[in-house]
Amino acid sequence: MSRVYRVLRKKYARSPFDGEGAYRYGGRWSSPGIRLSYTSEHQSLALLEYFVHLDKDDAPADLVLAVAEVPDEMTGERVDGQLPANWRDPAAPPELTRIGDEFVRKGENCLLVVPSVLAPDENNCLINPEHPEFRRIVLGQPEPLAYDPRMFGRRRGQRKRPGS
């Protein structure tokens, strides 16, 4: 089994892998109306992927970490070599959205492994919750997630240490 990780707000923790956020708003790899659950291969990458979208002055205090166990033999596709030169641009090129949308429309596999824009040698795993194999994934109960407040800069009144 392989683990995948997802960071989200507590109010969405009842169904952390249902793809509702991507369905409503779309994402780098999918259009609105396409249900995919965006996960990462490492907890640290999941944090980076979540934090990159936050305003540093509005960091949430109610985050949870959802973990899922994916069977090693589960069907999946890997996105390699078919990416446009500008795939890491902050505004995702439409080719990426087409890749994810087509993946779901074909319905051949449950998992789509894609490189992370933030750490291109690491992967995110997009899970199609409507694929028949989704039920084989073991979904853990989301746990409260505490992160170091330095992620968003020094706290008010905190002095800078010499040499930092």
Residue 122 has pLDDT above 70, yes or no: yes
Let me know if residue 159 belongs to a domain: no
Cα separations in angstroms, 104 against 19, 46, 139: 12, 22, 21
Let me know if residue 56 belongs to a domain: yes
Residue 106 has pLDDT above 90, yes or no: yes
Is pTM beyond 0.95 here?
no
Question: What would the pLDDT profile of 59-82 be if each residue is shown by its tens digit?
Answer: 788 999 999 999 999 989 999 777
Q: What pLDDT, on the 0 to 100 scale, is given for residue 61?
A: 86
Number of domains in the chain: 1
Let me know if residue 163 belongs to a domain: no
Let me know if residue 158 belongs to a domain: no
Q: Which residue range(s) make up the domain with 95?
A: 2-152
Task: Please check whether residue 83 is in contact with residue 96, taking contact to mean a CB–CB distance below 8 angstroms.
Answer: yes
Let me know if residue 45 belongs to a domain: yes
Q: What pLDDT, on the 0 to 100 scale, is given for residue 55?
A: 79
Kindly indicate the confidence band of residue 163, based on its pLDDT and cuts at 50, 70 and 90. low
CA distance 160 to 162: 7
Q: What pLDDT, on the 0 to 100 scale, is given for residue 78?
A: 95
Let me know if residue 142 belongs to a domain: yes
Task: Please check whether residue 40 is in contact with residue 113, taking contact to mean a CB–CB distance below 8 angstroms.
Answer: no
CA distance 93 to 87: 6
Residue 153 has pLDDT above 80, yes or no: no
Q: What pLDDT, on the 0 to 100 scale, is given for residue 3?
A: 97
Let me know if residue 143 belongs to a domain: yes
Residues in Cβ contact with 162 at an 8 Å cutoff, skipping those fewer than 6 apart:
none
CA distance 51 to 43: 12
CATH assignment at residue 53:
3.90.175
Let me know if residue 53 belongs to a domain: yes
Residue 61 vs residue 22, higher pLDDT: 22
